[in-house]
Each structure stands twice: as structure tokens, then as C-alpha cells.
Amino acid sequence: MDFSADDLEKVRARLRFKVCYDVGFACPDVDDIVQESLIRFLAATRENKIQNPEAAGAFLNGICRNVILEYRRRNLRDEPMPEVMPEPARESIQDTDLFELRQAISRGLDQLSERDRRVLRAFYLEEKSKEEILKSTGLTDENFRVVLCRAKERFRAIYVAQTQHRGPSRHS
Amino acid sequence: MWPRRNIAALRVTLSYMSVDFHEDPVRREQTIARYLGRRLGADQAGQWESHYLSCQDCFEEMRASEWLIRGLGEPVVERKLVNGVAVLQFARGTQLLAASLELTELSKAIHMESDRKVLIDLSTVSRIDSTGLGVLMQCYCHAVKNDGALKLLRPDAPVRRVLNMTKIDLVLQTFEDEAAAIESFGPSA
């Protein structure tokens, strides 16, 4: 398995999200965990340890889980050093970028109709099932899919535009 | 013999493992929403992570959903307290119509809080219908019943016209300047 620089950058972004999800977005050691996981993963690919390329994601996930477990064990084992304050996590998004992002999200929401917003709220925030939403709104299955896909298309465009604007090395 | 409960759980996990996330976008979105809300079981979360770690398309879908959820979760009505007066403002441009989410949120904001002096900023409201007027009057009654007052700030021309036509502006005092509006409530308690 060979990775181009671009592929590797994408894998890093995905892995970074997974690590942040597990250890918290404010953890100062996120990048170290990502780097260690990637090093082990690339070493394994060089040694042809991944026999099924389709299982590469699961393999990387397993490696990352182990690295996180080791990190947690190390943290528990090591004596706390109260006099040394941990370095605050580097802000992954600058204030200006955050403002732009909020603006973009707000613009995306403004493009949604009142009904669409109500449907999406019910689906994403109120944990209602598709059947419940169809019943309460009178939408057909097809309508519901259109609402979902239309909203997702807009927000995916916002996400892609934002990551391109911020450059490849600054994924949050 | 495995306990029946364990077998059921195993069956759920196995059925989940065989899911093709690309097959049904709605199912994928459900998984994403539950994962982002940390409501997915460990096995299912692991399965989804293994998938998006090798699938850029699904990863981008998840990030897009994350932003969509973030946007949907933003407060609709913002509240600030100035000299004891609660100033309510709509976070985005809106219309106060029968089906508006903002209307429900406004009503909730006034009935849930025990504010006696309320100023509603209507500068971002471009349209209002009879339901919207009804909710404003309900909020007004609620404030008056609690020995308080409710006033309006900067209504847009179409909204002002409706307030004028229905003579509601004779009941609900309207202001163009926030400072003057806050001063009109009298000294803060």
C-alpha cells in the first residue's frame, strides 16, 4: 500500500478527528497520538502486515486505540506534577476563521426553508426516527431524503470551502 | 448456553458490522448523528470509525453534519440583560409566521424566564402574521400579569405597518432607539 502526500494528509485529518473525539478536543497531546499512530500504521504497511486493503481503516483504528490506551495508562502511572501546568491546547481555529465559519454556517441555515429546518432539527437534535418525522410532517420518504440531501450538500460545500481556505495542515 | 440478552446484543452488533454505510444515506446520517451525539455503542462507534478512517467521502459527510448540527443547535433567540431589562433578539433574520420555530422559541424565552421588563428587538424580523401577533400579545399579557411590561424595538416597515393596521402599536409601545426604550422602563429594580 502506497500513500501520496495528499492521501497521507487526508488520513491524518481523519485520524485527528477520531483522536480528538476519544481524548477530547482540548487535549494538548492530540498531535503526538496522531503521529505515533501514523508511524506504527505506515511501518505495518511497509512490512506488508495489512493483507486486506479494505481493512486498512479498521487496522488503523485498532492501532490508534492501542496508542490512546498506552497514553492513558502512562498518564495514570506518572506522578502528577502540580507545579508544572500543562501547556494549553493550541487553538486549531483562529478567532477570525471561527467568525467566518459561523457566518458560513448561518448563511447555510438561512438557505434552508422553515420546514426543512424543523425536519432537520427533529432528525439530528431531537433524535426522532424517520418514521416519526414523516408522520408528524406529512412528508413522503422521497421528500425527506431530498430535504436531508439538500441540506447536507450545502453544508458539505461549506466544509470543503472552509478546509481549502484554511489549508491542508490545519484540520480541526 | 449464552444468556438471551447477550445473544440479542451480539445479533445487533453483527447486523451492524455488515452495514454498508453507502447503501442508505438516511441510515448513514442516523449513525453520524448518534456518533456525534455520543449515543452509539462502543462496537458500533468502532465500526463507524474504522469505516470513516478509510473513507474520505463519509468523513466529509460527517464533518458537514457536525456543522449542520452546530448551526441547528445555535440559539434562535438571544437574550441580554441591560439595566434590569431583558432584551430579546433573533439570532438570524426571520419571519414570525405560524410555522416559525422562532415564535415557539420567543414564547418559551418569555414564559420560562421570570423577566418582568422585556424588550423585543424586531429589527431582524421581515414579516409577521396573525399567529405572530397573537404570540406577541400572549407575551405581553404574561409580562403584565407579573407586574411587568413588554415593549418593542425597531420594527421593520412591513411589521410596523401590520402593528399599525391592527392597532397593536397602541398597546405595545414601540421604540427606535434601544437606550430610550430601556430608559422608558424606569429605574432598574
Distance of CA A92 to the CA centre of its chain: 13
Q: Which of residues 7-66 of A touch B (CB under 8 A)?
A: 10-11, 13-15, 17-18, 21, 54-58, 60-61, 64-65
ipTM over 0.95: no
pLDDT, residue B131, reads 86
Quickly name the fold that domain A95-166 has: Arc Repressor Mutant, subunit A (1.10.10)
| CA distance, residue A85 to nearest chain B CA (Å) | 29
Query: Which chain A residues have a beta carbon less than 8 Å from that of B16?
Result: none
Which residues does chain A have with pLDDT short of 70?
1, 79-99, 165-172
Please name which of B54, B109, B47 lies closest in space to residue B81, comparing C-alpha atoms. Answer: B109
Query: Which chain B residues have a beta carbon less than 8 Å from that of A21?
Result: 49
Please name which of A152, A25, A38, A93 lies closest in space to residue B33, comparing C-alpha atoms. Answer: A152
The DSSP line for chain B is ---HHHHHHHHHHHHHHT--TTT-HHHHHHHHHHHHTT-S-HHHHHHHHHHHHS-HHHHHHHHHHHHHHHHHHS-SEEEEEETTEEEEEESS-EEE-TT-HHHHHHHHHHHHS--SEEEEE-TTEEEE-HHHHHHHHHHHHHHHHTT-EEEEE---HHHHHHHHHTTGGGTS-EES-HHHHHHHT-S--
What is chain A's percent helix, strand, coil content, to nearest 5?
70, 0, 30
Contact B65 A155 (CB under 8 A): yes
pLDDT, residue A172, reads 44
Contact B71 A159 (CB under 8 A): no
Q: What is the Cα–Cα distance from B91 to A101, expressed in whole angstroms?
A: 15
The mean predicted confidence, pLDDT, of chain B is 83
Query: Which chain B residues have a beta carbon less than 8 Å from that of A60?
Result: 50, 53-54
Of B50, B64, B74, the CB nearest to A156: B64
pLDDT, residue B10, reads 47
Instruction: Tell whether the model's pLDDT for residue B165 goes beyond 90.
Output: yes
At B101, the pLDDT band (50, 70, 90 cuts) reads low
- Percent share of chain B, pLDDT over 70: 86
The residue in chain B having the minimum alpha-carbon distance to the alpha carbon of residue A106 is B71
Query: Which chain A residues have a beta carbon less than 8 Å from that of B125?
Result: none
Please name which of A157, A150, A125, A105 lies closest in space to residue B92, comparing C-alpha atoms. Answer: A105
Q: Which residue has the cell 495508562?
A: A73
At B12, the pLDDT band (50, 70, 90 cuts) reads very low
The residue in chain B having the minimum alpha-carbon distance to the alpha carbon of residue A38 is B53
pLDDT, residue A169, reads 45
Q: What is the Cα–Cα distance from B130 to B135, expressed in whole angstroms?
A: 9
Mean pLDDT of B88-117: 77
**Three-class secondary structure of residue A82 per DSSP:** coil
pLDDT, residue A48, reads 83
Contact A11 B68 (CB under 8 A): no
| Spans of all domains in chain A | 5-77, 95-166
Query: Which chain B residues have a beta carbon less than 8 Å from that of A148?
Result: 25-26, 29
DSSP β-bridge partners for residue B125: B94
At B176, the pLDDT band (50, 70, 90 cuts) reads very high
pLDDT, residue A140, reads 93
pLDDT, residue A88, reads 46
The tens digit of pLDDT for each residue in B118-131 reads: 999 999 888 888 88
**Three-class secondary structure of residue A117 per DSSP:** helix
Contact B101 A155 (CB under 8 A): no
Residue A142 contacts B where some CB pair is shorter than 8 Å? no
CATH 3.30.750.24 for domain B77-184, yes or no, is yes
Q: Which residue has the cell 445479533?
A: B11
Contact B67 A158 (CB under 8 A): yes
Task: Answer yes or no: are the C-beta atoms of B180 and B169 closer than 8 Å.
Answer: no
Mean pLDDT of B74-102: 80
Q: What is the Cα–Cα distance from A101 to A108, expressed in whole angstroms?
A: 10
Residue extent(s) of CATH 3.30.750.24 domains in chain B: 77-184
The letter for the amino acid at A78 is: D
The tens digit of pLDDT for each residue in A78-114 reads: 755 555 444 444 445 555 666 677 777 877 887 888 8
pLDDT, residue A165, reads 66
Mean pLDDT of B71-77: 77
Mean pLDDT of B6-18: 49
pLDDT, residue B39, reads 83
